[in-house]
Chains A and B, each alone.
Chain A
Amino acid sequence: MAVASQSIAVPVRAHHTLWGDAIVRLRRNKLAMAGLAFIILLSVVAILAPLLTPYGFADQNYNDILQGPSWKHLLGTDQLGRDTFARLIYGARTSLSVGIFTQFIVLCIGLPLGAIAGYAGGRTDNFIMRFVDVMYAFPDLLLVILLSSVFYGTKFGGSIYMLFLAIGLVAWVNISRLVRGQILSLKTRDFVSAARAMGGMGRYITWRHLLPNALGPVIVSVTFNIPRAIFTEAALSYIGIGVKPPTPSWGAMIQDGFNLIFAKPYMLLFPAIALALLMLSFTFLGDGLRDALDPKLRR
């Protein structure tokens, strides 16, 4: 029997979830949608690479070196006769996988560390954060280069997994700080106190209450981390300590193109544009996500 039956309450507005709301807002953002479209397109192209080009990325044809774009080679060839288009779309695999998979390492390290620091507070927090500060003080590119050169000597040097590790092990600091900040501010919210008052313990609260609500900025940060990782890979390959040739990398292609910049400018142009577009796409998407996930920006 309803005690307060004189006030049967009905919901106020049309049913919409917080995520659904965010998706609607994201869809409205044209740049973000364009970025997302490009990313999806490139991913499909990268996955279907063998179907899109008859050439392998390592096939050398000395008869056709340094050709300009033609019907035989859509984007021309490089100094070893390799088809540029093929190298470009196989290179996309490298860039995308580095961009995305490093984030798993970043999240595996950064999320728990940040969550523990934020929830535990006190000495634990202090300790973890000072460690993070120290990591932060190192210029990340240099640190990645250092790690890469160390790994290069080992047997799995030059493989893409080495790159995941090198970049991932440096990039997590951002996320940990972010997560910690989010958790610190969420800790004081009443719904967390309510859960404690009900008898909820630390792990339950962190897992069910704190982390889900901290996700928003984390998603945005990860989306911005991806182009950074992509660029780092390109930079490493550019200076020669990224993926080992013949594994294609846009960075290596830019290096090759740079040497021939006056003679054959298109060799530099194609990978450079591809890299720029991919990075921009993720950046626009990240911007769009940040606006979409900010509840205060709801009109």
Chain B
Amino acid sequence: MKPLLQVSNLTTHFDTQDGIVKAVEGVSYDVNVGETIALVGESGCGKTVSALSIVRLIAEPPGKIVSGEVFFEGADLLKLSQDEIRKVRGAKISMIFQEPLTSLNPVLTIGRQLSEGLEYHKQLSSQDAEREAINLLKMVGIPHPETRIHDYPHQFSGGMRQRVMIAIAIACKPPLVIADEPTTAVDVTIQAQLLELIKGISREYNTALILITHNLGVVARYAHRVFVMYAGKIVEYGTALEVYHRPLHPYTAGLLASVPRLDEPRKTRLLPIKDQPPDLIALPPGCAFYARCDHANDGCGSKKPVLMEVAKGHFSACWVAQKGLKPWQKKSS
């Protein structure tokens, strides 16, 4: 079955005072209808930039989408005109951002912000749009929606604001929603509420979801497939189960080993990954993870690895893994 969204070899750079930041380098991933995929990685790995590039929300200086294609509903989004891409944003692909304080306009009422999209994309009259806005607020669990549509963002709590963001995102029932760290700024119990809400909505409307996060637990709970990013590239991908139980890249394995888990007995010492991520302006030749890798061999430092299928449906960009070795996996599974 043809995927709903196909990102192909996307490359996005930023021109800064210190040099060119290669935020995203040749990244490819796809999302199927109704599927939830996760883009996992730490800060600076390029996951957010790749998502913003999909809907062309990159500020053109200093950023630049250098190359690649993004196929969605038969068209390459990167080649659309400004008008055309605007019709896609909100109606076909919508985004939920991390910080609801800055993504909601503080001087417009919630109702206004909800209706905006409805009036623009669905050509609803303002009364119809208002009625739909009330419906949406009800759907995301905001009590007393009829009065709340006249309130301003600052009158809502953080969790409520995120619900409003979710409502805005699903207003036009888009087939694809991109959620960029949607729960990082909220508490763990609110996170549970919001994610269950998103899961419920995506099930009901068969919405595909790109979940961008650094939280390995959230990914394990909600994603079908996982793409692990590091230093602007995808280093591993596969189903969630596969990637978590049989990681094929030392970075993934390192991440999983460094996070304390509530369901396992307490380790006396955590196993961190040494050093820190590389500078995206001065990337080393060869594998970007080489300096921090405990299982590298000599070739890793000079040749950049390419993504290859190492197990069924499970891809890895690691020379060692591609040779069939998995020294980081202790249990043989």
Contacts and interface: CB of A to CB of B under 8 A. Distances in A.
A13 B18 contact: yes
Contacts of A10: 275
A298 B276 contact: no
A115 B275 CA distance: 42
B3 interface: no
Interface string B258-301: 00000000000000101110010100000000000000000000
B128 interface: no
Nearest to B16: A299
Given A6-B274, A7-B272, A7-B274, A299 B279 contact: no
21 contacts: A6-B272, A6-B274, A7-B272, A7-B274, A7-B275, A8-B275, A9-B275, A9-B276, A10-B275, A12-B276, A12-B279, A13-B18, A13-B279, A13-B281, A14-B18, A24-B17, A298-B17, A299-B15, A299-B16, A299-B17, A299-B62
Interface string A212-245: 0000000000000000000000000000000000
B65 to A, nearest CB: 18
A213 to B, nearest CB: 22
Interface residues of A, number: 11
Contacts, number: 21
Name the prevailing secondary structure of the B interface residues: loop
Contacts of B274: 6-7
Interface string A1-35: 00000111110111000000000100000000000
For the complex of A and B, 8 pairs with smallest distance between CB atoms: A299-B17, A299-B16, A6-B274, A7-B274, A299-B62, A13-B18, A12-B279, A7-B275
Given A9-B276, A298-B17, A299-B17, 7 more contacts: A7-B272, A8-B275, A9-B275, A10-B275, A12-B276, A13-B279, A14-B18
Contacts of B275: 7-10
Q: How large is the interface on B (under 10, 10 to 19, 20 to 34, 35 or more residues)?
A: 10 to 19
Interface of B: 15-18, 62, 272, 274-276, 279, 281
Nearest to A14: B18
A192 B17 CA distance: 30
A298 B62 CA distance: 11
Interface string A261-299: 000000000000000000000000000000000000011
B12 to A, nearest CB: 16
A26 B62 CA distance: 19
A299 B272 CA distance: 32
A17 to B, nearest CB: 14
A247 B274 CA distance: 72
Nearest to A12: B279
A298 B16 CA distance: 8
A8 B275 CA distance: 7
B279 to A, nearest CB: 6
A11 to B, nearest CB: 10
B257 to A, nearest CB: 14
Contacts of B279: 12-13
Contacts of A12: 276, 279
